[in-house]
Structure 1
Amino acid sequence: MFTHAGAAAVAAILLMAPSLAPTPEPTSTTTEAETSGKRRIRNVESAPPRPIRVLQMNLCNSGLARHCWDKKPGAPQNRAGATMQVAAAEIARIKPTAVTINEICSGDLEGFKQKIGFKGDSFFTVLEGAPGSRTPKKCGQPGKPSKGGDYGSAILTKEPLREPYSEFRLEKAFDTQRNDREVRVMGCRKMPWATVCTAQLHAVPSQESDEDYLRSVQVTADQCFQLSREARRFAGDGPLIIAGDLNLRWNKPHEQNALNLCGKGLTRKGDGNRQHVISGKTFGEPQTEPWPDTSEPDTVWTDHPLFYVDLT
C-alpha cells in the first residue's frame, strides 16, 4: 500500500523546474472499433472475472524509437507484423482478462483482437502540433510514415464496449507536455467489472545526472497525477485499474515520490523498471517475463518485458 513519504521532495521538484502551460483537451481522432459492427451491447452487469488478469505490453512498434526498432528482426515492412505475432502467442499463453498496450500502431491493431479472441478494443492516438492544430502522430520514420497508421496505446478486453461509447470510453491529452512533437494521451475503458486505463507518460532520462532530469520528472509526475485524477473521476465508485508504461522507476527517489503521490490510496506493483499496475484491488504476485528470443542480439522484439498481475 502506498505511503505519504517523499511528498515534500516531489513538491520541491515541481517548484525547481519551470512551469509549463496547460493545454486543452483535443478532439479525439479515433473512435471505438466496435462502431463498424453497428451492434448495440445491452448494459447488463456481468459477474466480474476472478481473478482479473491484466497484461501490460510495450511493443516498441512505432518505428520512431530507433534504439529498439532497428534491432527487430526482418525487413522494416515486416517487423511490426512479426512483433504482433509474438504478442498474440503470448496473450494466448498468459490468458489475460484485459491487455494494455503502449507503442502500437492503429493499423497493426486491425484484426488483432479477432486473432486473440477478444471482442473489444479502444485505441488512443498520440498527437503532435500546438493546441488548435494537433493531428494524429503517424508510425514510421520522420518523413517516411509507415502503413501502420496512427501511433498510440490500446486497451483490449474480452467483451465489447457498451453503448453509448462516450459514456464508457475516455481519451484525453495531458495538460502538461514537453513539446509539440509528441503530445502524450491517456485512455480509459469502463467495463462492468472495472474501469481500465492506460498511458505512456513522458520519458525521464535514465541518468539522474542529466541536466534535463528534474524537468523531465516534473512533466512525467504532472502527467501521472492527471492520469490518476481523471481515471478516478471516470471510474466513479467502481473498481479502477491503471496499467501502462509510466516512465517512473521505483528505485529512483524523485520518481518514487511521484509514483507514491499519483497512486496515493491505491496499491502499486511494477516490473522493476518503468511499467506499473495501480489499483485498489488485492494483488497476486506480479509476473515479469522477457520476450521470447531476447538472448540473441538480432531478435530483440521490444525494450520492455512482459508484465502481468492477477487482481482479486
Structure 2
Amino acid sequence: MIPTVGLMWKLMTAALAVLASMVVPAQNAAAAERFWELQLNLCNSGIAGCYQQGRSVPEAGDLIVRLRPDLVTLNEICRNDLPDRLVPSMVTAWPGDRIHQFFAPALRKDTGTPVKCTNGQDYGNAVIGRVPAAAYQGVKTWTGRYTSQDTGNEQRTYACVYAIGHHLGCTTHLSASSEPVALAQCRSLLFDVIPQIRAAEGVTGRTVVGGDFNLEYDTSDPENAQNCVPPGHVRKGDGSVQHVVFSNDLAFVSTQKYSMRYTDHPGFLVRLTKP
C-alpha cells in the first residue's frame, strides 16, 4: 500500500521527535564542564627523609601533562620548582590557555622569614591553575600565617588564588606534630579565611581547597578531617592525610590515586564538573 501524504507527514514528525530526544542528552552533557583538581606533596625540601634528590618534581610534571588537571595544589616544594618544571608542564597540558601560579613560603618562627630548602630557595606551597583564554580576567592572591601553631620553628601558611570570575583555589600544609593544631589551622582556613575572601571578591562558588592536612578521616577521632568541612562543601580524601574540599556547586565524579616513586604521598586526583 502506498502511504498517503497525511501518513507520510505523521511518520516524518515521529522520526524528528525521536531525533530530538536523541540530541537533547548530548547537549546537556556538553553543558557540564570538567574541573579536575590534582593534589601533590612532593617532599622536595631536601631535609625530610622522603627527599629523593629533586626527582619528584619532573615526576609530578609528567603527571600534570598526562592528566591535564585544571587546578594543581602543591606542598613541600621549592620556589623554583614552579618555573623550572611544574608551570611549563601545565602550559604543555593546556596550550593556548592562561596559566596562573602562586607560591607562598612557610615562615620561620624565630625570624619571620621564609623557611629554606637545602638548595637555598624558599620552601612552601603553591597553586597552579588554568583558565580558558577567552574567560581570563586576571587573578588575585592571598597568603597568611595561622594564629595556631605547634612548637616547631616552621610556621604553617596557606596560599589562595582567585581566577576572577572562574574559580578560587587554595592549598595548605598543616601541622605535622599536633593534630589539634592541624585541625585548628584547617578550620581557620575553611571557616574564616576563605569566607572572607569570597565575601571581599563576590565569589559565589567554584571553590576548591587541596592540601596535606596531616589529618585523617576517622569518625572516632575528635581530630577527624571531616570536622573542618563547612556547610555547603564536600570533602574527598586519599585514605590518608591528603584531602580536597570543594563547594557543592561543583559536582563530584570520581577520585583516583597515582603512585609516585620519588615522594611519600600519592598523586591524588579529584574529578569534578561545574556548570
TM-score tier (shorter): 0.7 to 0.9
Alignment of 1:162-181 (within 5 A): 163=138, 168-179=140-151, 181=153
8 Å CA contact 2:35–2:69 kept in 1: the answer is: yes
Q: Give the CA deviation at 1:110.
A: 2.1
**How many angstroms apart in 2 are the aligned matches of 1:252 and 1:87?**
32
Out of 136, 142, 155, the position equivalent to 2:114 is 136
Which residue in 1 is equivalent to 2:254?
285
Per-residue CA distance 1:63-93 (angstroms, 9 max, x = gap): 1212x11xx2xxxxxx21x322111111111
Which residue in 2 is equivalent to 1:50?
33
8 Å CA contact 1:49–1:193 kept in 2: the answer is: no
8 Å CA contact 2:217–2:226 kept in 1: the answer is: no
Alignment of 1:142-221 (within 5 A): 146-147=119-120, 149-159=121-131, 163=138, 168-179=140-151, 181-191=153-163, 192-204=165-177, 216-221=178-183
CA RMSD for the aligned pairs? 2.1
**Structure 1 stretch displaced more, 151-160 or 282-291:** 151-160
Q: Does 1:263 align with 2:229?
A: yes
Which residue in 2 is equivalent to 1:124?
104
Per-residue CA distance 1:202-248 (angstroms, 9 max, x = gap): 015xxxxxxxxxxx121111101001021122123232111110110
Per-residue CA distance 1:167-195 (angstroms, 9 max, x = gap): x2110101101135100001111123221
TM-score between both structures, scaled by the size of structure 2: 0.75
Rg comparison, structure with higher value: 2
Out of 198, 211, 218, the position equivalent to 1:235 is 198
**Structure 1 stretch displaced more, 228-237 or 52-61:** 228-237
8 Å CA contact 2:39–2:268 kept in 1: the answer is: yes
Relative to structure 1, the CA distance from residue 224 to residue 120 in structure 2 (aligned partners, 3 Å threshold; closer, same or farther) is: same
TM-score between both structures, scaled by the size of structure 1: 0.67
Which residue in 1 is equivalent to 2:8?
none
Q: Give the CA deviation at 1:255.
A: 5.3
What percentage of residue pairs aligned between the two structures are identical? 31
Question: What stretches of structure 2 of length at least 5 have no aligned partner?
Answer: 1-30
Relative to structure 1, the CA distance from residue 139 to residue 49 in structure 2 (aligned partners, 3 Å threshold; closer, same or farther) is: farther
Out of 74, 82, 91, the position equivalent to 2:64 is 91
Number of residues paired by the alignment? 224
Relative to structure 1, the CA distance from residue 255 to residue 188 in structure 2 (aligned partners, 3 Å threshold; closer, same or farther) is: farther
The letter for the 1-side match of 2:166 is W
**How many angstroms apart in 2 are the aligned matches of 1:235 and 1:311?**
20
**How many angstroms apart in 2 are the aligned matches of 1:122 and 1:153?**
8
Question: What stretches of structure 1 of length at least 5 have no aligned partner?
Answer: 1-47, 73-78, 141-145, 205-215, 295-300
Relative to structure 1, the CA distance from residue 49 to residue 203 in structure 2 (aligned partners, 3 Å threshold; closer, same or farther) is: farther
8 Å CA contact 1:102–1:244 kept in 2: the answer is: yes
Which residue in 2 is equivalent to 1:9?
none
The letter for the 1-side match of 2:230 is K
The letter for the 1-side match of 2:43 is C
**How many angstroms apart in 1 are the aligned matches of 2:214 and 2:71?**
21
**Structure 1 stretch displaced more, 179-188 or 87-96:** 179-188
**How many angstroms apart in 2 are the aligned matches of 1:115 and 1:198?**
19
The letter for the 1-side match of 2:68 is K
Out of 45, 52, 56, the position equivalent to 1:62 is 45
Q: Give the CA deviation at 1:274.
A: 0.3
Q: Give the CA deviation at 1:260.
A: 2.5
Per-residue CA distance 1:31-74 (angstroms, 9 max, x = gap): xxxxxxxxxxxxxxxxx9811100000001111212x11xx2xx
Which residue in 2 is equivalent to 1:76?
none
Which protein, 1 or 2, shows the higher relative CO under an 8 Å CA cutoff with sep ≥ 6?
1
Relative to structure 1, the CA distance from residue 252 to residue 274 in structure 2 (aligned partners, 3 Å threshold; closer, same or farther) is: farther
8 Å CA contact 1:54–1:99 kept in 2: the answer is: yes
